[in-house]
Structure 1
Amino acid sequence: MAVMDPGLKRELEEKVLSGERLTYEDGVALYETDDLAWLGELAHHVRTRKNGDRVYFNVNRHLNMTNVCAATCAYCSFQRKPGDKDAYTMRIEEAVRLAKQMEPEGITELHIVNGLHPTLPWRYYPRSIRELKKALPNVSIKAFTATEIHWFEKISGLTAEEILDELIDAGLESLTGGGAEIFDWEVRSKIVDHATHWEDWSRIHRIAHAKGLRTPCTMLYGHIEEPRHRVDHVLRLRSLQDETGGFVVFIPLRFHNDNNRLSHVPMATGAEVLKTFAVSRLLFDNIDHVKCFWVMHGLTTAQLALNYGADDLDGSVVEYKITHDADGFGTPDKLTREDLLELIRDAGFRPVERNTRYEVIREYDGPDPAKRDVPQPIWS
């Protein structure tokens, strides 16, 4: 970390305030500054320009139908091998039963991510989507990473186009953003144990966008990568967004170091978390939303991230085995709609309930003026 040259600082500030696109060199320079307050104020300016005082959320349920996986990625605490005592694969009827439990709470989205199961047949996946959609016809189904779609190509012999056509016909409305991790091969070759890299990840999202799907994109940060790798990752996604316009949100995901092969790596500090959100918000001039997934960051840090560029807190979640199998971080399994409203208002923002495509379902009142003298964000 270093004190930024005053001339460079003024130049970056002028670029941001005028809406000029930042470069790779700009992104690296922003990561190098130790002036977190200045960085946060710039990111909050952009966040406010795009989204005002709104913070988006949805009422969703994460569903991980199997943790059995052919890959053994260094960062992953979720995967199990066939025969492991805690390996599981749900019958489709069980997945439907769990999803239906959320119906009384007004669920609007199912979020499904699985392991790369070595023996489940391709037919299991479209059938699961079809049955879930039949059981919850008014719920959007966001399912499968690009890594899973690539895996389906392998096990089915079909192309990604054919796979997506069948899944869309069954009721799929969005892919998930996972499998991105860090695209730079210098890092990726050390942490990823499957065949889906930038070329296939981007190819599959490009196809999905051409078919009218709107998808999230992600970055797993805070492990062995350096800030330059994060900047490269974001700029690859920014370039793909220039081409397709299909990404609705960017989600930085904080690496958790329990129960995996990178357990010796310290997790990102709070300052590093906020810096990552701020720099991402400043670089992404063509994606409207930046999400802080509260499960991976903790509730207090998630509230702070709303002042460092984030404008979305995900949703009720209910169960997220991918992080909770890393154990010990202390976030709850579930937040209710009322919990989310309180969390957002307590941070000084106005809650907005959205659907999977970021269309507004309902706007709520902002913070209670009687609760605080100045119900507004940190940055004035």
Structure 2
Amino acid sequence: MTANREIDDILQRAADGGRITPEEALLLYTDAPFHALGEAADTVRRRRYPDNVVTYLIDRNINYTNVCVTACKFCAFFRAPKHKDGWAHPMEEILRRCGEAIDLGATQVMLQGGHHPEFGVAYYESLFSGVKEAYPQLMIHSIGPSEILHMAKVDGVSIEEAILRIKAAGLDSIAGAGAEMLPERPRKAIAPLKESGERWIEVMTIAHRNGLSSTATMMMGTGETHAERIEHIRMIRDCQDLAVANGYQDTAVETSHELGGFRAFIPWTYQPENNHLKGRTQATTMEYLRFIAVSRLFFDNIAHLQASWLTTGKDVGQLALHLGVDDLGSIMLEENVISSAGARHRSNLHELIWMIRTADRIPAWRDTLYNHLAVHRTEADDPTDDRVVSHFSSIAMPGKKTLPLVDAK
């Protein structure tokens, strides 16, 4: 109970599984006492996941090119076409990195790159089919609506044709990449050449209709208002409502990953180095944690909520486990894009499991679709592979030609 009856009523309704409006979500975000907000969010988590399990993933983010025509102001990774530092990896190099990932226990690869002016649908068909042919056990959770719109434009085909072709080639899941901020004002301010937020939602809707599930993301801290942050999640929830109404998505926990729709929501924080925004604004830790809790209360139709320890730090990631989070993301065997902008938080498998267990949760290794591959109910169940450590980015670290392992202890 708080001193505000209206806030009490909203928190109780949300904790009980009821729907709250965007206006109510904004009130909670700005005015709800922190502990009451967190308690309500964790009540939702406990009801959804009474087994008290928190999941993690082992994957590798493999970049096929850094050449991009979009020139987003927050991005430190891209290079313009014909830039001397632009590159595109051959298939042999991509497959080599996939093989290394499998050897370290990865079940997923995220293939990411810029909007290369020459890469149309056929390029991605070749990329995905090549990975699937060599490593059929790998789930390909890759690209986002922006890349789909770009490849369709390059080849002059419809969005739906592009989606059907890359799905047939081996794409298993669409990443929530490119969302950043969906409302018009902040999106134009940080990515004026990128598609509108409404267009991003449209691509996701078409993908869901065609049986592809996805994640949804949000980047906080580039000058957006509190109300614009809430509008971002309103747009995502409305898209998910459509998937549920049309039978593309089932909100039951045990089936929520089997159909097209959003499986998870992943907010993360803007990283200020080496980009045109140059750190003019950033989200505070408290803003991030409050938003995590509000997101769990607001998304009554999205099963999973993931904390971004990569951008906020491991201590904040662990604290988020008490605010409605049920997934701690991944040990990324390679990550270049966010690292290029200054993310320096690294971990290893043992530490990630320790973070979950010392938050009084049960760690579980999952796959892309949130199927549990191993549940570590006691320390005796923990994996013993010391090689599973997140890497420094070869691009983020000047002068580094390899991806050195980090001592995360």
TM-score of the pair, normalised by structure 1: 0.90
2:24 maps to which of 7, 23, 26:
26
Q: Is structure 2 residue 356 aligned with structure 1 residue 358?
A: no
- The SS at the match of 1:172 is coil
SS at match of 1:351: strand
Q: Does the aligned pair in 2 maintain the 1:43–1:282 contact within 8 Å?
A: yes
2:125 counterpart of 1:113: no
In the aligned structure 1, how far is the partner of 2:356 from the partner of 2:141?
A: 24
Which of 334, 349, 352 is the aligned partner of 2:361?
A: 349
Partners of 1:202 and 1:27 lie apart in 2 by: 21
User: Does the aligned pair in 1 maintain the 2:220–2:282 contact within 8 Å?
Assistant: no
State the AA in 2 paired with 1:273: Y
Of residues 291-300 and 145-154 in structure 1, the stretch that sits farther from structure 2 once superposed is 291-300
* Maintained 8 Å contact 2:58/2:333: no
Residue 98 of structure 2 contacts residue 109 of structure 2 at CA under 8 Å; is this kept in 1?
yes
Deviations 1:5-46 (A, max 9, x none): 612222222212332210111111011126222211111111
Moved over 4 A (4+): none
Does the 8 Å contact 2:15/2:297 carry over to 1?
no
Summarize the alignment of residues 70-219 of structure 1 with structure 2, pairs less than 5 Å apart.
Answer: 70-219=69-218
Identify if the C-alpha distance between structure 1 residues 163 and 156 changes in structure 2 by more than 3 Å, giving closer, same or farther: same
Q: Partner amino acid for 1:331?
A: H
| 1:331 match | 345
- Name the count of aligned residue pairs: 362
- CA-CA distance at 1:313 after TM superposition: 1.3
1:294 paired residue number: 309
Mapped contact 1:351–1:366 kept (Cα < 8 A): no
* Match in the other structure for 2:34: 36
Looking at structure 2, the residues matched to 303 and 17 of structure 1 have their Cα atoms a distance apart, in angstroms, of 21
2 CA distance for matches of 1:132 and 1:335? Answer: 26
* 2:394 alignment counterpart: none
Residue 317 of structure 1 corresponds to which residue in structure 2? 332
**Offset, 1:83:** 4.0
2-structure distance, mates of 1:51, 1:296:
25
- Give the superposed CA RMSD: 1.8
Asked if the contact 2:120–2:151 (Cα under 8 Å) also holds between the matched residues in 1, the reply is no
Equivalent position of 1:372 in the other structure = none
> Structure 1, residues 161-218: CA drift from partner, whole Å, max 9, x if none?
2112221121110011011111111211111133422232112111111121111011
Q: Which amino acid aligns with 1:185?
A: E
In the alignment, the residues of structure 1 paired with residue 333 and residue 196 of structure 2 have an alpha-carbon distance, to the nearest angstrom, of 30
> CA–CA distance in 2 between the matches of 1:249 and 1:21?
18
Q: Deviations over 1:196-251 (max 9, x none)?
A: 22232112111111121111011111221111111111111111111113110001
Q: Does 1:6 align with 2:4?
A: yes
SS at the partner of 1:124? helix
Partner of 1:123, secondary structure, is helix
Structure 1 residue 135: Cα displacement: 1.6
Structure 1 letter corresponding to 2:370: Y
Partner of 1:305: 320
Alpha-carbon distance, 1:367 to partner: 7.0
Instruction: Note closer, same or farther for the CA distance 1:116–1:157 as it changes in structure 2 (3 Å cut).
Output: same
Q: 1:298 to 1:109 in 2, by over 3 A?
A: same
**1:319 positional shift:** 1.6
Aligned equivalent of 1:272: 287
Q: Is the 8 A contact 1:346 1:367 kept in 2?
A: no
Task: Give 1:257 deviation, angstroms.
Answer: 1.2
SS at match of 1:102: helix
> Residues 47-99 of structure 1: CA distance to partner in whole angstroms, max 9, x if unpaired?
11112321111111111111111011122122111344433211111111111
- Output the amino acid matched with 1:41: E
The residue type equivalent to 2:160 in the other structure is E
Q: Which runs of 5+ in 1 are unaligned?
A: 369-380
Residue type matched to 1:349 in 2?
R
Deviation larger for 289-298 or 113-122: 113-122
Q: Is the 8 A contact 2:213 2:262 kept in 1?
A: yes
Q: Which residue of 1 aligns with 2:393?
A: none
